[in-house]
Every structure is written in C-alpha cells, then in structure tokens.
Amino acid sequence: RQCLPGWTVINSMCYFFALSEELSRRSWMDARHFCKRQGSDLLVINSREEHMALAEIVKMSRDPSRSLAHSGFWIGLRDADVEGSWTWLDGTRVEEGYWDNGEPNNQNNEDCAAMYPRENPFHSWNDAPCHWNLKWICERTPRPFSS
Ligand code: 2F8
Ligand code: CA
C-alpha cells in the first residue's frame, strides 16, 4: 500500500480530501494542523497536471445543498507575509495561478487560498479569510507511515 487508508494516490503522491461531515470544516491553520498530525501538509500544487487532477476531484465533490462559498478546500497557499504575494508552503511564489475571475480580491482581509468546484478548472481559486471554516486537502509522499 502506498498511502494511508482513506487517502487517494495520484501520480505517486498521497492526498487526503476532508470530505466527511464528521471532520467538518476548519480554519486554514486548524486544517494545516490536521495535515501535520498525519505527516503531511496542506496541498502544494507544483504542476498544471497536478492542478487539473485535483480540480477534477474537487469538482466532483460539489454539494448542491451548500453555497459555492462554503464548498472550498483550503490549500497550502497564502499571502500572509506580504499582501498580494501568494506563496506556497514550500516557498514557491505563484505568478499566474488558477484564480476565479476577479480573484484574489482580498475582500475582508483574505490571506488564505482555497480551491472551489468550478466548471472551469482554470478558474477555481479564491482568497478567503483564514479563520473561515472550509474543507481542506492534505498532501504527502507515499510511505513511511511513521509520522
Ligand atoms: O464574489 C466573490 C467573493 O465571494 C465571497 O464573498 C461574498 C467570498 N468570501 C468568502 O468566501 C468568505 C470572497 O472571497 C469572494 O471574493
Ligand atoms: Ca476573495
């Protein structure tokens, strides 16, 4: 087995989608802590292929009973250090990204990024307030399972 039970393997990486109502929704920081306890961190997207694969799964997770604003998944991207400078948790700067039209707009101090189920996968990101409770995506390398 490459990944922990409940995790999804895509192109040799392990992903966890916080889908269950039981896990509920969390702030960006609490979601990150959840990932860290599983030896992982919030999702860092390193390629267009990775983005497309994950955007597809996020799109399938769309719950019509919830508004789009509540359908986001936190990812490991924020501009908390320098406003407008979007940086992945691995330190990589985002130049273009896959923002929704008009985003990021920093409406009400929005320093954390989430991926939403949008028809067009190239317009799936939005910046939201970090204390907002959303679902999230963790990512880690396959094995060892020790941490
Ligand atoms: O219209 C885009 C706008 O939608 C919401 O605010 C009304 C989002 N807020 C949250 O998700 C909390 C904004 O981030 C988004 O820009
Ligand atoms: Ca926004």
CA atoms of 120 and 123, how far apart (whole Å): 6
Torsion of CA 133, 35, 111, 70, to 10 degrees: -30
Ligand 1, residue 114: give the atom nearest the CA.
11
Give the residue whose CA is nearest to atom 1 of ligand 1. 102
Sign of the CA dihedral with 22 first, then 99, 52, and 92 last: negative
Name the 3-class secondary structure at 59: helix
Predicted ipTM of the assembly = 0.97
Looking at residue 62, what is its pLDDT? 86
Looking at residue 19, what is its pLDDT? 81
Q: Over 90: is that where the pLDDT of 147 sits?
A: no
Question: Using one digit for the tens of pLDDT, what is the confidence trace for 94-114?
Answer: 999 999 999 999 998 999 999
Q: How confident is the model at residue 68 (pLDDT cuts 50, 70, 90)?
A: confident
Question: Using one digit for the tens of pLDDT, what is the confidence trace for 29-52?
Answer: 999 999 999 999 999 999 999 999
Ligand 2 midpoint to CA 119 (Å) = 18
Q: What is the architecture, at CATH level 2, of domain 24-140?
A: Roll (3.10)
pLDDT above 90 as % of the chain: 82
pLDDT above 70 as % of the chain: 97
Inter-residue contact 72 to 133 (CB < 8 Å): no
Q: How confident is the model at residue 120 (pLDDT cuts 50, 70, 90)?
A: very high
Question: Using one digit for the tens of pLDDT, what is the confidence trace for 73-91?
Answer: 999 999 999 999 999 999 9
Ligand lying closest to the C-alpha of residue 104 = 2
| Bridge partners, 13 (sequence order) | 10
Question: What are the φ and ψ backbone dihedral angles of 68, each rounded to 5 degrees?
Answer: -60, -35
Average pLDDT over the chain, rounded to whole?
93
Inter-residue contact 95 to 75 (CB < 8 Å): no
Helix (H) or strand (E) holding 31: helix 28-37
Inter-residue contact 37 to 137 (CB < 8 Å): no
- Nearest alpha carbon to residue 27 among 96, 110, 102, 103: 110
Query: 8: which 2 tokens?
Result: 């999804």
